[in-house]
Structure 1
Amino acid sequence: MKTLRFDPLNIIICGIGGQGNVLASEIVASTMNELGYRVAVGETYGASQRGGSVMSHVRVSETEDLGVLIPSGEAHIIIGFEPLETLRMARHYAGPDTMIVYDPRPVYPLGVLQGNQSYPPIEDIIKELEECSSEAHTVAASDIAVEAGDSKAANIALLGAFSRLTGSPLNTEELSKVLTQRFQGDVLKINQKAFEAGCAAIDEKGGNAS
């Protein structure tokens, strides 16, 4: 069991409905719990079935029983499945010690597709995320998932990237082991491929935890 970089360690996993956010948070929380940490999980949902916001708070401690909600400005890691949702969370929860790993591929809401709303330039989102955190890593998780064989595996690609962050409480071996327990057959192979590619994306940036 790793010593936590911060105690409590606060993790936010965010995106929109249907991207696998809840599964990702459940994997992180249950793995931490099995390793002996005390874990609290809180989730908030927008109109998730229509592509609304979904956010999970995962709080981890070696000794404390924690409340489920992360205080403003006190997230240590943000895992984002959609860039604008990541920015919304970062504006409220990021602080000087926050690390962010996210997929920069936009998922446009209906209002944008209909021309009634605008979506910020992705370059502006990337710049602001870099400015409001200690580290911000883009990982093309959606593209990785498609290349692995299933677009639904983007969440697993981001978990691979998360495992390679210097401040991650879980290492690559621990999360990789969980995949073999959760999935079987071709689904396991696809998720393993996506996970490994997510790891490689961080390693190539020089942000790995080894």
Structure 2
Amino acid sequence: MNLTKDPLNLIIAGVGGQGNVMASQLVGRALVRENYYVTIGDTYGASQRGGAVMSHLRISRDSQFSPLIPEGQADIIVALEPVEALRVIARYGNPSTSAVINSRPIYPTAVTVGDAEYPSLDKIRATINELARKSWFVDATEIALSLGSPIFTNIIMVGALAGTGLLPLGRRSFEDVIQESFPGAHLEVNLKAFAQGMDLVKA
């Protein structure tokens, strides 16, 4: 499998506590195992838990690139929260960007106390569909809860990314890294989360 462009620019975004940094590490390690160069840069919002978190991955067959993706140059966006998807694609997206979005909102404090409004999912979906070449909206959180905990959302989203075929990686590359990362009692449920994520977007 080959890169569709070099470098291929991927952003994995969410809010603190969702595990998108772990997701970026899994994806990065899977790529490195297949002899790609991967540079990862993480950016954090005002608070560690609940603030915006973005991981920039720059993927190349031949060389390393600076860790942060320039504005307007993301090829793939994976968002664990819909408003974060909107923010990231507005800043980093372009007409050729593809996006994979978890459709379950996490409401910030300003929304829950009535000081701000959260846009409707229909509005978010329509805006992203206008801005992106292709988008997939999946309820990864619902599946994670069916597996016992919302903490599996990030692994489900990695599975969804794998299922799109946007990365030059086969299923086994991801599963090998998951096996290394979650040995023992946690392995089976994480492999199941990954598989169910793949099933969400398979044609």
TM-score normalised per structure 2: 0.96
Q: Contact 2:10 / 2:56 at 8 angstroms: preserved in 1?
A: yes
RMSD over aligned Cα atoms = 1.1
Q: What does residue 113 of structure 1 align with?
A: 112
Structure 2, unpaired ranges of 5+: none
Q: Contact 2:73 / 2:93 at 8 angstroms: preserved in 1?
A: yes
- The question of 1:129 aligning with 2:148 is answered no
- State the one-letter code of the partner of 2:102: D
Q: Contact 1:103 / 1:142 at 8 angstroms: preserved in 2?
A: yes
Equivalent position SS for 2:165: coil
1:121-158 CA distance string (max 9 Å, x none): 11000111111111110111101111122210000000
Equivalent position SS for 1:91: helix
Equivalent position SS for 1:145: helix
Q: CA shift at 1:32, angstroms? A: 1.2
Q: What does residue 47 of structure 1 align with?
A: 46
Runs of 4+ in 1 over 6 A off after TM superposition: none
Q: Contact 1:148 / 1:191 at 8 angstroms: preserved in 2?
A: no
- State the one-letter code of the partner of 1:102: I
- State the one-letter code of the partner of 1:5: T
Q: Aligned residue pairs: how many?
A: 203
Q: What does residue 23 of structure 2 align with?
A: 24
Q: What does residue 139 of structure 1 align with?
A: 138
Q: Contact 1:164 / 1:171 at 8 angstroms: preserved in 2?
A: no
Q: Contact 1:16 / 1:48 at 8 angstroms: preserved in 2?
A: no
- State the one-letter code of the partner of 2:69: I
Q: Contact 1:44 / 1:55 at 8 angstroms: preserved in 2?
A: yes
Q: Distance in 1 between matches of 2:168 and 2:47?
A: 28
Structure 1, unpaired ranges of 5+: none
1:154-202 CA distance string (max 9 Å, x none): 0000000100113223222210121111112332121111111111110
Q: Greater CA deviation, 44-53 or 114-123?
A: 44-53
Q: Contact 1:105 / 1:142 at 8 angstroms: preserved in 2?
A: yes
